[in-house]
Chain A
Amino acid sequence: MFTTTLKSKFNNIIINLYQNNATHLKKFSTQNLYREKWEAIIGLEIHAQINSKKKLFSTSSTSFNEPVNTNVSVIDAAFPGTIPRLNPKCIDLTVATSLALSGNVQLVSSFDRKHYFYPDLPAGYQITQHYAPISLGGKVTVSPLDGLEYEKDIRIKQIQIEQDTGKSIHDVRPGMALIDLNRAGTGLMEIVTEPDMRTSKEAGLAVRKLQALFRAIGSSDGNMEEGSLRCDVNVSVHEPGTPFGTRCEIKNLNSVKFLMAAVDVEIERQIAELNKGGTVIQETRGYNVATNQTFRLRTKETYTDYRYMPESDLPPLILTKDYLTRIYNSLPELPDDRKRRLMSQYHISLNDVMSLMRENGGVEYFEEVAKDRNSRHVVNWITHELYGLLNIKNIKFDHNPVTTQQLGSIIDSIETDEITAKIGKKVLAQMISGEKRLTPDIIQEKGWKQLTNMDELETICKNIISKNSEQVYQYKQGNKNIYQWLVGQVMRETKSKASPKLVNDILTKYLD
C-alpha cells in the first residue's frame, strides 16, 4: 500500500461522515421559509461514477470493496511515459444520460487538466472537461410523480466527464495516510445544475430523480452510501426581489436524507447570521451528522488555483449526429414515462409504482409476474410480502432468489382457492430460504393444500357448532362478533387450510 505522511486534519470529517447516528436531527423545513421574508437558493453538483466495467482512461476494472491497490494499471498510477486512452463505453453512457436529461450533447468536446497536489491524485492533475464539456443545458423535472406538491424544472448547466481520484485512508497508521488507487481513474459524470431549487425537498427529490434516471439507463449505480453518487450543494439565502446572497458549498454528503438536513441547517445558519447583522462568507463547508451542523472546511482565500490547461494527450472528442441518434433511439423508458404508463396500464397507485421503481429491476419483475394476473394483487405481493421478507432476511432486491414463475405460482394458487393467503406467505418464506420449486409442489409435499372437500368441511363445522352451543346462542342473540370466533375455531381445527369462502358458506347455512 502506498503511504504518505499527511497530517490528518481531515480525520474528523471522515469519522463524522461514517457515523450514522442521526437521531436528533432537528425538525426544520425550508417549506416554511415562504411565510417569512427569506428565500433560499440551492444548486447541485453531482458526481456519478460511470457504470462501465473498465476505467475511463485505462483497461483496469472498476471496483468497489476489492482488496486495496489490486485494480491499478500504470496509467492509473501515473507512471512516467503513460498516456490516457478514452474508454468509449463511458462516452456512450454519459451521452445517453445527457440526452435523457434533454442536454445539448456537443459534437466537439475536449479534455483539460485540473491541477492540485494530493496523494490520492497520482498525476498531480485530474483530467476533466473544463473548457468544452460534453453536454450543455438540459433539465431535470420534479413533479407530483416524485412526491412534490407541484411541478418544477431544474435547469442543468452542463454535464462533463472526468476521472475519479484514489482514496486516502487516514488513521489506520497514526500520522500516515494510506493510499488506495483502485478508484483512481474511474469515470465520473459531473452534473451541474443552475441554482433553481428553493427548498431542501426540491433538492432531495432532484437527486432521487437523477438516481432513478441513472439506474434506468444503467449509466451509474447512483449509490450515495457506497460513494458511487456524491453530491455537493450550494446554498445561499436572500430576500425575494434582491440579488442572490453569498453562497456556501456543502461537500461530501452521503445520503439524500443528510443532504436535505444539511441544506436545512445551513439555511437556518445563514438566516441567523444575517438576522444578527452578520455576513455570510463564501466558503466550503462540511456537514456533521452527529450534531446536525455544517462546519467550515476552507474559505475562499485558501482556494486552489487549478491552473486548467488543455489535455494534449487526448485529441478532441468528436461525435457524429448519427451516433447521437443511435444512442437516443436505444434509450430505455425513462422514469416519468414509466410511472405514467404503469399507472394507466396496470391501474395501480403512484405509491405502488414508486415502490416498484425504488428497487433495481422491480418494475421488470412486476411486469413479468403481472402478465395475465391481477396486477393489484401482484403489486401487493411484491411491495408488501416480498419486499418485507427480503428486508427481514437482509437480502437486496437484485439478489432476490424468488423467480417470477415462483411468485406467480403463489398468486395463482390463491386465486384458484388451492391455498389461503396466509399459506401463500409461508410458501414465499420457503422460496426466500432457497426453495426452488413452484407452489403446487411445495403445498403438495407440505400438506398445505386448502381443504375444499364440502363433506369434510361440513362435518368439521357441524362439530364446532354443536360443541359451542353457548357461543352459537349468543350469536343468535345478536352478538355478531362471535361469528369470526367460530371461523377461527374452524381454522384452528384445519390448521388454516380450510377455504375461508367455503367455511363462510357452511357456517352461514347452519347458523342462519
Chain B
Amino acid sequence: MSRTITEAANLLRQKKISTAALVKECLSRISKYDAKVNAFIEVQNEKELLDKVLEADDRFAKGSFIGSLDGIPIAYKDLFCTSTLPTTCGSLMLKNFKSPFNASVVNFLEEAGAIMIGKTNMDEFGMGVFGPVYNPHSILFDENHLENDNNKNIKKRRVAGGSSGGSAAAVAAGMCFAALGSDTGGSVRLPASYCGVVGFKPSYGRCSRWGLVAYANSLDTVGILTRTVNDAKLIYDVISKYDENDSTSMSPKIRSINSSLPSFLKSDSNTDDLRGLRVGVPKASEYYVSELNDPIIELWKKGIYYLRSQGASIVPVSCPSTRHALSAYYVLALSEASSNLARYDGVRYGYRSEKESNENDNLLYADTREGFGKEVKRRIMLGTYTLTAGSYENYFLQAQKIRRMIQSDFDRVFKRPNPLHFIKKDTLKIDDDGVDVLITPVAISTAPKIENCSETNVSVGNNSNDFVNAYVNDVLTVPASLAGIPSISVPYGVSPTDGYPIGLQLMTQYGDEDTLLEVAKVLEKGANQK
C-alpha cells in the first residue's frame, strides 16, 4: 500500500525523497490503473505539475516548507472550482467550464503547499450512490489473482460508490495522497467504505463551501478522503477555517464557544486508553439492521468490542426519528437541488443547445436543459414537485420538521451540548448520561457489482421504484447530514464472503471533531490488529 502523508512529508523533510518522485509515483499509478478505474476526469498537465514540483524541490533544498502539506499531491472532486483545470461536476452541462476562481478550500490547501494532481470523477452534480468509477479493489484483485480471466473479471467488477467515488478510488489506488470530496448525504463516507479508505465529513459550516458547486446547499459539506485518520486530520487542520465568502461558515464566535466546551480528549494521544469514553450504539431496530448484510453486522460488533476492550463504556441509545431520516433527506436534498440547478440555462456559461429556441417562451431552456443526465433530471423533477404550492406544506415543511427532530435526537443522546443552542441558553449543560460518540455501520453492504447498478437496474424500467431502492444505500449516513454533525467512515476490515472493504461510522456532537478523530484513530488501530 502507498505511503501516508505523514510518512511522505517526513521523507521530504529528511530529503530522502523528492516531490518529483511523489508526483511521478502518483502519475504512474494513474497511467497504470485509471483506464480501468476511471477515477479522474482530468489530470493536471505535466508542464504545470513540473513547474510546481521544481518550485517545491527548490524550496526543500533550501530547507524551507510553506506548510504542512508542502509537495503533497492531492486530487479534488470535480465540483470544487479550480481556475487552472475545468470544473465539470461530471455533467455535459459544464463540459469544459473553467471557473474564474478557486474554491476557498483549494486555496487553503495550495497555501499549505499541496499540489493539485487532477480532478476526480463523480456522479453528475453529486447525485448518486454508485457512481461512474470502478472500485480499485477489483483492479488489484484482477492483477493479483485473476490475470488471465478477463471476461469473468469484468462481471465481477464493483462500483467505487458515489458520489465522491473518483476521490475515494484515487486515494485507494495510490493515485494521490488525499482527495477532497463532498458529502451531502453520505457521498464521502459511502465510497470510503466501499473502497477501504478513510472518509471524513466535518460539521456543516466547518469548511468553506465557497467554490463547492452546490447540490443541496443546506446539507453539502466538504469531505476528506485519505488512507489514514492522521492524514485526514492533517488535511482537516488546513481547511477548517472560517471564510467570510461562505455565509454559512461556522462563525468565529461559535468556533470559540465550541473549543471552550469540554470534549473527550486523552492526555496522551499515543495511547489507546479509552477509559471514560462513552460510546453509544443505536438500537438495532432504528439503524435498519434488517437491511444490513451479515458481514457488516459482524464487523460492527467487532468494532464495538474493540472499543470496549480499550476501556470505553458501551451505552445503548435511542434515536427514534432516524427511521424518517431517509425520506426527509430526499425531500429536502431534491428540493434544494431543483433550485440550485436552475442556473444552468446556457446563457452565461456551460452547455447550450444548438437547436433554435423553442417558439414558446415558457419552454425557453427546454433544449439546453436536455444536457442534464437522467438521474439529475429525475431529481430536479421530484424536487420541483415538492416545492410546488400544495406540496410544499405536505412534503418540504414536514421534512424540515423531521430534520429538527433528528437533530434533537442527537442533542439528547450526546453528553456535550450543541454549541449552536448553547449561545441561546447561556448555560453549559453536560449530560453525564449522554455519550461522546456513536458507532454504526456506513453502508448496508460491501460495494455492489457493476451489473447490479447499471442504468437499467436503477432507473425507470418496468419497475419505476427501482431507483428508490438505490436511495436506500444512504440510509445510515443521512442522519448525520441532516443534523450537520461530524461523521467519519473508518475502514474496518473486509467481508469474509467477498473480500471487499467495510467501513464503520463514528459520529459526535456538532463541532466535536476532536473527539471524533481521536476515537477514529483508536478504531483504525483495532482494524489493523485483527
Residues 367 to 389 of chain B near chain A (Cβ within 8 Å): 384, 387-389
Bound form: Cα–Cα A74–B245 in Å:
12
Closest partner residue, chain B, to A113 (CB atom): B339
Q: Kindly list chain B residues whose C-beta atoms are within 8 Å of the C-beta of A7.
A: 357, 359, 361
Taking the closest CB of chain B, its distance from the CB of A485, in whole angstroms, is 74
Please give, as numbers and ranges, the residues of chain B lying within 8 Å of A86 by CB-CB distance.
247
Residues from 100 to 129 in A contacting B, C-beta threshold 8 Å: 113, 115, 117, 119, 122-125
Find out whether the CB atom of A307 lies under 8 angstroms from the CB atom of B387: yes
Q: Pick out which of these stretches binds chain B: A214-222, A309-317, A431-439, A487-495.
A: A309-317
B336 touches A115 (CB 8 A): no
Which residues between 1 and 23 of chain A lie within 8 Å of chain B, taking CB atoms?
A: 2, 4-7, 9
Q: Does A78 contact B (CB under 8 A)?
A: yes
CA–CA, A85 and B336, complex, Å? 19
A307 and B217: CB pair below 8 A? no
How distant is B402 from chain A, measured CB to nearest CB, in Å? Answer: 15
Q: Which residue among A78, A80, A113, A305 has the maximum number of chain B CB atoms within 10 Å of its CB?
A: A80
Cβ-closest chain B residue relative to A124: B342
Inter-subunit contact B213/A309 (CB<8 Å): no
Are B94 and A85 in contact, with the CB atoms below 8 A? no
Q: Which of B104-136 contact A (CB under 8 A)?
A: none
* Cβ < 8 Å to B, chain A residues 71-86: 74, 77-86
Cα A18 to Cα B179 in complex, Å, equals: 56
CA distance A117 to B101 in the complex (A): 26
* Cβ contact within 8 Å between B101 and A315: no
How far apart are the CA atoms of A267 and B294 in the complex, in Å?
Answer: 75
> What DSSP secondary structure best describes chain B's contact surface?
loop
Q: How many residues of A contact B (CB 8 A)?
A: 34
Residue A179, interface by CB 8 Å: yes
Which residues of chain B (215-254) have a CB below 8 Å from chain A? 217-218, 244-248
**With the chains together, A81 CA to B210 CA distance in Å?**
6
Q: Given A74-B100, A117-B342, A179-B347, answer yes or no on A5-B356 (Cβ-Cβ < 8 Å).
A: yes
Candidates A2, A83, A115, A117; contact of B348 at CB < 8 Å: A2
Tell me, in angstroms, the Cα distance from A124 to B347 when the chains sit together.
11
Contact with B along A52-78 (1 / 0, CB 8 A): 000000000000000000000010011
Q: Is the CB of B209 within 8 A of A307?
A: no
Asked whether A305 lies within 8 Å of B348 as measured between CB atoms, the reply is no
A308 contacts the other chain (CB 8 A): yes
Tell me the smallest distance from the CB of B331 to a CB of chain A, in Å.
Answer: 11
From B80, B89, B248, B342, A123 is in contact (CB under 8 Å) with B342
Q: Counting CB contacts under 8 A, is B476 at the interface?
A: no
Q: Does B212 contact A (CB under 8 A)?
A: yes
Q: Are B343 and A83 in contact (CB under 8 A)?
A: no
Q: Chain A residues near B217 (CB, 8 Å)? A: 83, 312-313
Interface size on B, residues (CB 8 A): 46
In the complex, which of the residues A4, A84, A123 contacts B343, with contact meaning CB atoms closer than 8 Å?
A123
Is B248 within 8 A of A9, CB to CB?
Answer: no
Interface residues of A in 165-191 (CB under 8 A from B): 179
Which A114-149 residues have C-beta < 8 A from chain B?
A: 115, 117, 119, 122-125
Most chain A CB atoms below 10 A, which of B97, B244, B247, B387: B247
Whether B345 is near chain A, meaning CB under 8 Å from some CB there, is yes
- A74 pairs with B101, CB closer than 8 A: yes
How far is B101's CA from A84's CA once the two chains are assembled, in angstroms? 15
Q: Which of A4, A80, A113 contacts B347 (CB 8 A)?
A: A4
Q: How far is the CB of B99 from chain A (nearest CB, A)?
A: 6
Are the CB atoms of A315 and B247 closer together than 8 Å? yes
Check A82/B345 contact, CB under 8 A, given A74-B101, A309-B387. Answer: no
With a CB–CB cut-off of 8 A, which chain A residues contact B356? Answer: 5
B342 near A79 with CB under 8 A, answer: no
Q: Which residue of A lies closest to B360 (CB)?
A: A7
Q: Is the CB of B244 within 8 A of A85?
A: yes
Given the contacts A81-B214, A83-B247, A315-B248, A119 and B89 also touching, CB distance less than 8 Å: no
Q: Which of A7, A81, A314 has the most CB of B within 10 A?
A: A81
> Known interface pairs A74-B101, A83-B247, A313-B247. Does A307 touch B210 (Cβ–Cβ under 8 Å)?
no
Write out the residue numbers on chain A whose beta carbons fall within 8 Å of the beta carbon of B81: 80-81
Q: Is B392 part of the binding interface, using a Cβ–Cβ cutoff of 8 Å? A: yes
Contacting pair A80 B247 (CB below 8 A): no
A400 to B502, CA, bound (A): 78
Partner of A312, one of B248, B359, B388: B248
Q: Is B211 an interface residue (CB 8 A)?
A: yes
**Alpha-carbon separation in the docked complex, A41 to B99 (Å):** 51
CA distance A314 to B335 in the complex (A): 16
Q: How far is the CA of A83 from the CA of B103 in the complex (A)?
A: 11
Whole-angstrom CA separation of A83 from B364 in the bound complex:
26
Which of A74, A81, A115 is close to B342, meaning CB atoms less than 8 Å apart? A115
Assess whether B87 is interfacial by the CB under 8 Å rule: yes
Closest chain B residue, CB of each to CB of A5: B357
Indicate if the CB atoms of B248 and A313 lie closer than 8 Å: yes
Q: B213 to A80, Cβ gap below 8 A?
A: yes
Contact A9 B361 (CB under 8 A): yes
Name the B residues within 8 Å of A119 (CB-CB): 345, 347, 364
Instruction: Kindly state the separation between the CA atoms of A481 and B361 in the bound complex, as whole angstroms.
Output: 76
* A115–B384 CA distance with the chains assembled, in angstroms: 10
Cβ of A6 and Cβ of B361 under 8 Å apart? yes
- Which residues of chain B are within 8 angstroms of A78 by Cβ–Cβ distance? 343, 348
Residue from B89, B211, B339 with most neighbouring chain A CB atoms (10 Å):
B339
A83 adjacent to B246 (CB under 8 Å)? yes
Whether A80 contacts B387 in the complex (CB less than 8 A), given A2-B348, A6-B361, A85-B247, comes out as: no
Contacts of B349 in A (CB 8 A): 79-80
CB atoms of A309 and B210 under 8 A apart: no
Question: 0/1 per residue, B486-502, Cβ < 8 Å to A?
Answer: 00000000000000000
Bound Cα distance from A86 to B247, whole angstroms: 8
Most buried by B among A5, A7, A313: A313
How far is B79's CA from A93's CA once the two chains are assembled, in angstroms?
A: 37
Chain A's nearest CB lies how many Å from the CB of B348?
Answer: 5
Chain B 43-76 interface residues, beta-carbon cutoff 8 Å to A:
none
Measured CB to CB, the closest approach of chain B to A230, in angstroms, equals: 22
Smallest CB-CB separation from A3: which chain B residue? B347
- Say yes or no: A115 contacts B387, CB within 8 Å: yes
Q: How far is the CA of A179 from the CA of B213 in the complex (A)?
A: 24
For B384, the chain A residues whose CB sits under 8 A away are 307
Q: List, sorted by A's number, 23 A–B pairs whose CB atoms are closer than 8 Å.
A: A2-B348, A6-B364, A7-B359, A78-B348, A79-B100, A81-B87, A83-B247, A85-B244, A113-B339, A117-B364, A122-B348, A123-B342, A124-B345, A305-B388, A307-B339, A307-B384, A307-B387, A307-B389, A309-B392, A309-B396, A312-B218, A313-B217, A313-B248
Beyond contacts A79-B348, A81-B213, A309-B335: 7 other A-B pairs, Cβ-Cβ < 8 A, are: A7-B359, A77-B348, A78-B348, A80-B94, A115-B339, A312-B218, A315-B247
For the complex of A and B, the 9 pairs showing the least CB-CB separation, nearest first, are: A124-B342, A312-B218, A307-B387, A5-B357, A80-B213, A81-B211, A81-B81, A78-B343, A81-B213
Q: Which residues of B contact A (CB under 8 A)?
A: 79-81, 87, 89, 94, 97, 99-101, 103, 209-214, 217-218, 244-248, 335-336, 338-339, 342-343, 345, 347-349, 356-357, 359, 361, 364-365, 384, 387-389, 392, 396
